[in-house]
Structure 1
Amino acid sequence: MSYGLLILGMALLTFIPRYIPFALAGRISIPLWLSKALHFVPTAVLTCIIVKSTLVQDGEIFIAFQNHYLIAAIAAFITSLVSRNLLLTVLVGLVCFGVLKWI
C-alpha cells in the first residue's frame, strides 16, 4: 500500500465526521431546550479541564500551599475579578506560576 493512499484515507476519515454536522445543520432544526442546554457545554468542558489540571496531581487531589498550579490559578482568578482584563489575568497567572516554580 502506498503512503499517499494511506494519507488520503486518513484525511477522509478525519474530514467526513467533521463535515457531516455542518452539512446537515441547515436541514435539521434543533429544539429550543436542546439549544439552550448546548449553550453551556463549552463553559462546562473548560471548567472541567481547568479544575482537573489545577487540583489533580499524580492521580490524587492536591490542595495545599505547595500546589503551584492552585496558587497561580487563585492569583489569576482574583486578577480577573478585579481588572476584567484577559491579558493581565494571563500574565499574572504565568508570572505567579513561574516565580513559584523558580523558588
Structure 2
Amino acid sequence: MEQTTIFLTLLGMMAATALPRILPLLLLSLKPLPKWAMAWLRYVPVAILSAMLLPSLLMIEGKLSFGKENLFLIAAFPTILVAWKTRSFLGAVAVGMGVVALLRLQG
C-alpha cells in the first residue's frame, strides 16, 4: 500500500472518530439545555457502567452463575456498600480487590 493511501485512510479514520464526539459538543454548547435533559444526562454514565459490568458479574464462562464459585458477584456486595456509604472510588476498589483476594485464598 502506498503512503498516500495510508495517510488518507488515517485521516478518514480520525474524522470518523472525532466528528461524532465534536459535533454534539459544539451544537449543545450554543444554548443551555433544559433541566429535564440535564437530569437525564446525569444517569448516562451509571447506565453505561452498569451495562458493561453486569455481564461480567453474573456470568462465568458464558453461563449465568449465582453460586459461591462466582467470586466477583460475592465481592460486588461489600464493594457496592463501601462505594455507597463512603463515595470513595479508591476505597471501593480496595475493598473489591481485598474480598476477591481473601476468597481466592480460602478456595
TM over 0.5: yes
Unaligned residue ranges in structure 2 (runs of 5+): none
Corresponding pairs, count: 102
2:20 matched to 1:17? yes
2:10 matched to 1:7? yes
Unaligned residue ranges in structure 1 (runs of 5+): none
2:61 matched to 1:58? yes
Q: CA RMSD in A?
A: 2.3
Aligned to 1:63, the other structure's residue is in SS state coil
Aligned partners of 1:34, 1:78: CA distance in 2, in Å? 29
Name the CA shift for 1:79/1:19 in 2 (closer, same or farther; >3 Å).
closer
Q: What amino acid maps onto 1:48 in structure 2?
A: A
User: Which residues of 2 match residues 67-82 of structure 1 at below 5 A?
Assistant: 67-81=70-84
Aligned partners of 1:48, 1:71: CA distance in 2, in Å? 18
Residue in structure 2 matching 1:27, options 26, 30, 34:
30
Aligned to 2:74, the other structure's residue is in SS state helix
Aligned to 1:64, the other structure's residue is in SS state coil
Residue in structure 2 matching 1:100, options 92, 99, 103:
103
Aligned partners of 1:24, 1:81: CA distance in 2, in Å? 35
Q: What amino acid maps onto 2:57 in structure 1?
A: T
Aligned to 2:20, the other structure's residue is in SS state helix
Compute the displacement of 1:9 (Å): 1.5
> What are the Cα deviations for residues 74-102 of structure 1, in whole angstroms up to 9, with x where unaligned?
232243355x1432321121122134345
